[in-house]
Amino acid sequence: MTVWTTARAAGRAALDLLLPASCAGCGDQGAACCPSCAATLAGRELVRRVAAGTEIHALARYDGVPRRLVLAYKERGRRDLARPLGAALAAAVPYLPGGRPAADGTWWLVPAPSRRSAARARGGQHVHALARRCAAELAARGVPAAVAPALRLGAGARDAVGLGPAERVANLAGRVRARPAGSPPPGTPVVLLDDVVTTGATAVTCANALRTGGAEVVATLTLTAAG
């Protein structure tokens, strides 16, 4: 982490202490995400996508309040959103089509990895932080959960913004790999988590890497679905 990144993170933390929380979805004072805006990610009707045989479900479409919440968390330093966004994911995990825990009842969550440069700018792997909050919320509800940092993104991947479907696949080809040190035992059913699904290229590539590493990908869940 650079000196500038560290200073920026410290500045954000200081502002969080000095200023009252405001909802990233509507701007109301009092909470990082007010109940009304949190309800837009309630996942009452999951958005379903299929890419290269991989089924992906999202809590909401990448539009309006959900889009503002994701952008605030991912690009604008609103790390206070990790808790409500993680809670939204946790509410959907046990009911995912095809999803299931391991034999001992533990839900294994695998976060999609980010580019190292993007993670440095954002103060860390943002989806990993979401997965931790999701696991904590599940545990608070009496549902055993664990986070497996089972994937890594190698050097050379570009920012996917503006890339078409084929370009996104080529951008990730050979760069998403399983991390044995962060993986659950072979054959363990896992749920892949991410923030946004656009073409599905990331989900497909991550799922393939996990299967190569011996995991069984039973479901993929994202906060939002674009397009």
pLDDT in tens, 210-221: 999 999 999 999
Tokens of 67: 């889009």
pLDDT at 1: 40
Residues 98-136 pLDDT 10s: 999 999 999 999 999 976 655 566 677 899 999 999 999
pLDDT at 45: 92
Alpha-helical segments (H) within the chain: 3-18, 35-38, 64-75, 82-92, 116-122, 126-140, 165-172, 201-212
With a cut of 70, say whether residue 4 has pLDDT above it.
no
pLDDT at 227: 82
* Higher pLDDT, residue 9 or 204: 204
Distance CA 110, CA 100 (A): 14
Distant-in-sequence, close-in-space partners of 73: CB < 8 Å, separation ≥ 6 = 24, 79, 81, 82, 85, 126, 195
Maximum C-alpha span of the chain: 48
Distant-in-sequence, close-in-space partners of 34: CB < 8 Å, separation ≥ 6 = 23, 25, 26, 28
Model's pTM, two decimal places?
A: 0.84
> Domain extents for the chain?
3-225
Residues 155-205 pLDDT 10s: 555 555 555 555 555 556 557 888 999 999 999 999 999 999 999 989 999
pLDDT at 2: 45
pLDDT at 155: 55
pLDDT at 119: 57
Which one-letter DSSP state was computed for residue 117?
A: H
- Which residue from 177, 227, 172, 178 is spatially nearest to 201, judged by alpha carbons? 172
Q: Is 189 left (phi over 0), alpha (psi -120 to 50) or beta?
A: beta
pLDDT at 6: 45
pLDDT at 164: 56
Please provide the average confidence, as pLDDT, over all residues in the chain: 86
Report the number of secondary-structure helices (H) and strands (E) in the chain.
8, 8
With a cut of 60, say whether residue 10 has pLDDT above it.
no
pLDDT at 157: 55
Distant-in-sequence, close-in-space partners of 89: CB < 8 Å, separation ≥ 6 = 59, 130, 134, 137, 193, 221, 223
Which one-letter DSSP state was computed for residue 45?
A: S
Which one-letter DSSP state was computed for residue 56?
A: E
Q: At what angle do helices 165-172 and 201-212 cross, to 10 degrees?
A: 30
Give burial (CB, 10 Å; 0-12/13-18/19+) of 7: exposed
Query: Hey, is 107 helix, strand or coil?
Result: strand
With a cut of 70, say whether residue 5 has pLDDT above it.
no
Instruction: Kindly indicate whether the domain formed by 3-225 is annotated with CATH number 2.40.33.
Output: no
